[in-house]
Amino acid sequence: MKYVVKLGGAALENPELCESCAKAIAELVKDGNQVALVHGGGVQLTKTLKLLGKQSEFIAGLRVTDAETRDTALMVLSGRVNKSLVASLGGHGQAAVGLCGGDGLIFRARKKRTAPDLGFVGEIVASDTRWLEAIWKMGAVPVISSLALGFDGEYYNINADEMAAACAAACKADALVFLTDVPGVRDANGEVMRWLSVDRIAALTNDAVISGGMLPKLSACREALLQGVKRVRILPAELAGVLPDLCSTRVAHGTEVMVA
């Protein structure tokens, strides 16, 4: 089977949790699956920007990205965060190749048109998965940071959830899993919803039940399902150990997002 796993939030800040996720991914590959790991790194980027004297600003869960912020994102996400994940997988005997969306022109972006303007924030408009297929043929895991090249030659910061959804759709993944620092999507009573139809997302948004970083995540879930990805689940990173059993057994953790 083909998996796309998105890793972000606390898992990237917690070495033990990161190692647990890397171990689960290595086991998935050992079981004969092809896995692509897409990662964020917003916390690390915010910390680095603060050291540089820049304040981070977010609108609807997306980072406002001027040229300096974009260049810092390239350094942090495609550098330290990406190579740390490659090392974590290597520590479990799993070969991995670190990339960003611009490498091999795997993903092409255009500026995201929003009001107000978000700067160098993009959205994926084209993909070429030949490099991913080549890496999989070698038994390795592509580790992809969430930046892509625009047709104008500029790098654009891509929301990592959107990047994961685009990757899953492009490579016709059987499953897309978001490993997060929350237990799942909560309803108005604060209870985790085990199943969520994409038809309910708009209503939950309008009622302010979901907000912030969950907005682009659920939008990404919806897009992935509508583009043919078979299963989409939001799963707590601390339970990454269930990944190898996700498509073969009933997993009662996180939120399964479905087409009604």
Model confidence at 8, pLDDT cuts 50, 70, 90, reads confident
Tell me the pLDDT tens digit for each residue of 165-197.
Answer: 999 999 999 999 999 888 888 888 888 888 888
3-class SS of residue 258: strand
Cα 69-75-81 angle, rounded to 5 deg: 115
Cβ contact 89:26 at 8 Å: yes
pLDDT for 249 beyond 80: no
The residue written with tokens 């892509």 in the block is 148
Question: In the structure encoding, which two tokens stand for residue 208, read together?
Answer: 């302010």
Model confidence at 27, pLDDT cuts 50, 70, 90, reads very high
Cα 213-215-221 angle, rounded to 5 deg: 110
Domains of the chain, with CATH numbers? Answer: 2-258 (3.40.1160.10)
User: Average pLDDT for residues 67-88, to the nearest whole number?
Assistant: 96
Model confidence at 250, pLDDT cuts 50, 70, 90, reads low
Q: pLDDT at position 89, please?
A: 97
Phi/psi for 258 (5° steps) reads -135, 160
pLDDT for 43 beyond 80: yes
Confirm whether residue 41 is marked as ligand binding.
Answer: yes
User: Average pLDDT for residues 77-93, to the nearest whole number?
Assistant: 96
Confirm whether residue 42 is marked as ligand binding.
Answer: yes
213 compared with 82, residue with greater pLDDT: 82
The residue written with tokens 């603060």 in the block is 50
pLDDT for 51 beyond 80: yes
Question: In the structure encoding, which two tokens stand for residue 215, read together?
Answer: 């907005």
pLDDT for 244 beyond 90: no
Q: What is the pTM of this model?
A: 0.93
State the DSSP H helix or E strand holding residue 9, giving kind and residue range, or none if neither.
none
Residue 251's alpha-carbon distances to 235, 244, 257, in angstroms, are: 10, 11, 13
Cβ contact 222:201 at 8 Å: yes
Amino acid at 25: I
Tell me the pLDDT tens digit for each residue of 120-167.
Answer: 999 999 999 999 999 999 999 999 999 999 999 999 999 999 999 999
